[in-house]
Amino acid sequence: MAVVMLGVALPALFLSSVQAAVQPRVGLTAHAADQVLTWTADNSMIAYKSAPSTATAGPATIVFENSAATGNNTGMTHTLTFDTSTPGYNHDVNLNIIASPYDASGGRHEVQVNLRPGKYRFFCAIPGHQMVGELVVTDGGGTDTTAPQVSAQVTGDQDPNGNYVGSATVTISASDTESGVDKVEYSLDNGAFTTYSAPVSINQAGAHTVRYRATDKAGNTSTVGSATFTVVTPPEKDTTPPQVTAQVAGEKDKDGNYLGSATVTISATDSESGVATVEYSLDGQPFAVYTQPLTLGQPGAHTVTYRATDKAGNTSTVGSATFTVVTPQEKDTTPPQVTAQVAGEKDKDGNYLGSATLTISATDSQSGVDKVEYSLDNGAFTTYSAPVSINQAGAHTVRYRATDKAGNTSTVGSATFTVVAPQGEDTTPPQVSARITGNQDWAWNYVDSATVTISATDSESGVDKVEYSLDGQPFAVYTQPLTVGQPGKRTVTYRATDKAGNTSSVGTATFMVVKDTSGTDCPKPGKGNSCKEK
């Protein structure tokens, strides 16, 4: 039974033996055809051993054989696949036959199809194979004696007299309902006919005649058509781009932000050929044609870029207007909420041993918190940006306050506490070590990933924190084993600090991570080889 897959993508890995399956699709016929087209393949990946080049429209039996009988003595798998996407070919037959000398059919497969006039492109879809060809199908119902239909259209900028200013473009169209169009040709001003492949632009001033014709695949050529027109030189070439400006309007707050919305008005002038188009882009979007002022009500920062093009094609330098829209708010008369928390190790009397850390928190549900300040022991208020550590022995009072963006300041709060020196000062840093685990290859490289576990101990004040740095990055707090999966030579440095502030020497762990290549053939053993041999 043939292995036929229609409209299904080939798998990335082809096996030397596949199960037989037939899945009929549109374009196949259920009955046997008198016309038999045979493809064969052997050990070559460059070309099919044999393949038909022509056929007649209608039902056909396609035979694809890739077997020992056709010269395949290596067991190599090939496919016969019809192209269904490349322009210029018929796409109505979805055919994909996978054949191997070792499959259930011994490498020989048949399928019924229905061909129509035109060209089909076929190829072997296995990666690395370069087998490709064309099958030309002619009309089996009779000889095509009807010439193609062909027409031409002239376009361009015209003056009041109908002349084309600067240039004219001639676009030729042809169609043939029988054998199909083979080629289209044109002649400019009684010159020789040449192949037409794209619209033709004529920019030489004067009267012109373009003659055109089309030939179908049966050799029928249309009557020669013609298009006559005149190209004139533009009055004077305009090389100066337009002048373009933008103005942003709306109600502003004290910070210059627009309350509720902002309106952008773009103006452009050109004293020569005149302005053709004005365009704008909002926040990096594609340019669009500007027709009226833009009103932007979405809160946030915005940038409008703009440009203008004149009728001679000159485009101005891109300008930009940047502004911020904010949501109008009712007047905020409520000060922020502010609290403070003191943390640290305490003795039995509630005093903080060695140091105390003060953390201040503030919230404001209206205009938002603008700043937080604190004063230590009746000193001047200073800006609070991070928790404050107080390690000087004695009684302390920290006062704190917060101010919102509307200028409202909270009542001053205070926190009172005492710091005492710890009994017996700890001057010994912690002990810290690292252990690396993971699957290793024969060269002791870690395959796919390595896990670094860092351990620290301190017999006096106790470990306060452990930190690590991966490949020279800033130190970060270590909370759990670190899994490193990026291939290459990796270095983890580490250190620990105890509660008395003593920091250990920096330790280093260096190792190599490689990708798992155990599924591939290994090179000969040697330094730097990291795959496993089969």
Would you state the torsion angle of the CA atoms of residues 267, 271, 274, 280, taken in this order, to the nearest 10 degrees?
-30
Q: Count the residues in the chain.
A: 534
CB atoms inside a 10 Å sphere around CB 353? 17
pLDDT digit string, tens, across residues 448-471: 999 999 999 998 778 999 999 999
Read off the pLDDT of each residue in 508-526 and give the average, rounded to a whole number: 75
Q: What is the pLDDT of residue 6?
A: 35
Q: What would the mean pLDDT of 438-444 be, rounded to a whole number?
A: 94
Q: pLDDT tens-digit profile of 376-419?
A: 999 999 999 999 999 888 899 999 999 999 899 999 999 999 99
Q: CA 165, CA 240: separation in Å to the nearest integer? A: 19
Q: What is the full DSSP assignment across 354-408?
A: S-EEEEEEEE-SSS-EEEEEEEETT---EE--SPEEE-SSEEEEEEEEEEETTS-
Q: Residue 358 in contact with residue 390, Cβ under 8 Å? A: yes
Tokens representing residue 321 in the block: 């207007």
pLDDT in tens, 70-127: 999 999 999 999 999 999 999 999 999 999 999 999 999 999 999 988 999 999 999 9
What torsion, rounded to 10 degrees, do the Cα atoms 134, 139, 145, 151 define?
-60
Per-residue pLDDT tens for 200-235? 999 999 999 999 999 988 889 999 999 999 999 887
What's the mean pLDDT when you consider all of the chain? 88
pLDDT in tens, 308-358: 999 989 999 999 999 999 988 778 899 999 999 999 999 888 999 889 999
Strand partners, 395: 418
Q: How much of the chain exceeds pLDDT 90, in percent?
A: 74
According to DSSP, residue 286 is labeled P
Least confidently predicted of 32-36, 279-283, 366-370: 32-36
Question: Closest Cα to residue 351, out of 425, 422, 424, 420?
Answer: 420
Query: If you average pLDDT over residues 14-42, what whole number do you get?
Result: 54
User: What pLDDT, in 10s, does the model give residues 121-176?
Assistant: 999 999 999 999 999 998 765 567 889 999 999 999 998 899 999 999 999 999 98
The per-residue pLDDT for range 253-275, each reduced to its tens digit, is 889 999 999 999 999 999 888 89
Q: Domains plus CATH for the chain?
A: 3-138 (2.60.40.420), 149-232 (2.60.40.10), 243-326 (2.60.40.10), 337-420 (2.60.40.10), 431-514 (2.60.40.10)
Using CA atoms, how far residue 123 sits from 12, 47, 72, 120, 405, in Å, is 16, 9, 18, 10, 70
Give the separation between CA 182 and CA 118, rounded to whole angstroms. 10
